[in-house]
Amino acid sequence: MKAFQTIRLEAEPPLILITLNRPDKRNALNPQMIAELSEAFAAAEADAKCRVVLLRAEGKAFCAGMDLEALQQIAGQSYEKNLEDSRQLAQLFQRICTLVKPVIAVVEGPAIAGGCGLATVCDITLATPEAKFGYTEAKIGFVAGIVAVFLIGMVGEKRARELLLSGRLMDAAEAKQIGLVNEVVPSDGIATRAKQIAAELAANSPQSIAANKRFLADISGLDAALEKACIANATARQSEDFKEGVRAFLEKRPPRWTGLA
């Protein structure tokens, strides 16, 4: 299979394994990883031997969100470029969510911001007890608009509001309790459990699974909601609070917010 720079793509029919592979960067997202993930999921969908996709990560973190270099670039980009970038992330999340084959996330370690978004949009999410989840965008003056489109349907609007506005972290047990995680599995058994679930899914009708996923996507109205989210993201990226939030994050200090004026 094709070799990538930020991920690994491996075939173990009837599975395809997609592994985030920037452990030295805590598997943080950057434009290249987003593009490579989109290509890998497209390849999995086109592979007739693939019945289930496993998304996992190398190293101690599942995904720490956007990396520092990407954040610096975002803060200096034009609205048009930020809108383009937001659409690319939205397309990745939508591709994963609407893939005609089931996608299982295996979360070991932190899944933060965009990394939490990756875990959110998968069909089934397994986590170790040590995993942490958080939509932390508000802490740097950003808007978690894209993931909110998916999150509301999973945990309810009231819970989604609290998570998005607080930006707090939660452990795997709470993530399971609110419906973000399907199962919490000890680290020494999570790989085996993921493949067990994958085998159960692979035994089902692929046409039925695809039809169910298409139906769920159709009734959710994703297209219109995601375009609104992309506009909200691009607009937030132009704000003074976002620029200050990124500066404060990079300088490891509390942000000095400008307020609503």
Quick one: which H or E segment has residue 15?
Answer: strand 15-20
**Mean pLDDT score of the chain, rounded to an integer?**
94
Per-residue pLDDT for 207 more than 70?
Answer: yes
Q: Which CATH superfamily hosts domain 7-187?
A: 2-enoyl-CoA Hydratase; Chain A, domain 1 (3.90.226.10)
Cα distance between residue 19 and residue 183, in whole Å: 20
Per-residue pLDDT for 214 more than 90?
Answer: no
Taking alpha carbons only, the member of 118, 107, 154, 148 closest to residue 40 is: 118
Residue 104 forms beta bridges with which residues? 54, 124
Please state the domain extents for the chain.
Answer: 7-187
Compute the average pLDDT of residues 5-28: 97
| pLDDT digits 0-9 by tens, 162-201 | 999 999 999 999 999 999 999 999 999 999 999 999 999 9
Contact 83, 107 (CB under 8 A): no
Is 240 a known active-site residue? no
Confidence of residue 260 (pLDDT cuts 50, 70, 90): low
Residue in 137, 162, 200, 244 annotated catalytic: 137
| Stated pTM of the model | 0.94
| pLDDT digits 0-9 by tens, 71-98 | 888 888 899 999 999 999 999 999 999 9
Per-residue pLDDT for 259 more than 80?
Answer: no
Contact 55, 38 (CB under 8 A): no
Per-residue pLDDT for 261 more than 90?
Answer: no
Confidence of residue 258 (pLDDT cuts 50, 70, 90): confident
Tell me what pLDDT residue 195 has: 96
| pLDDT digits 0-9 by tens, 126-150 | 999 999 999 999 999 999 999 999 9
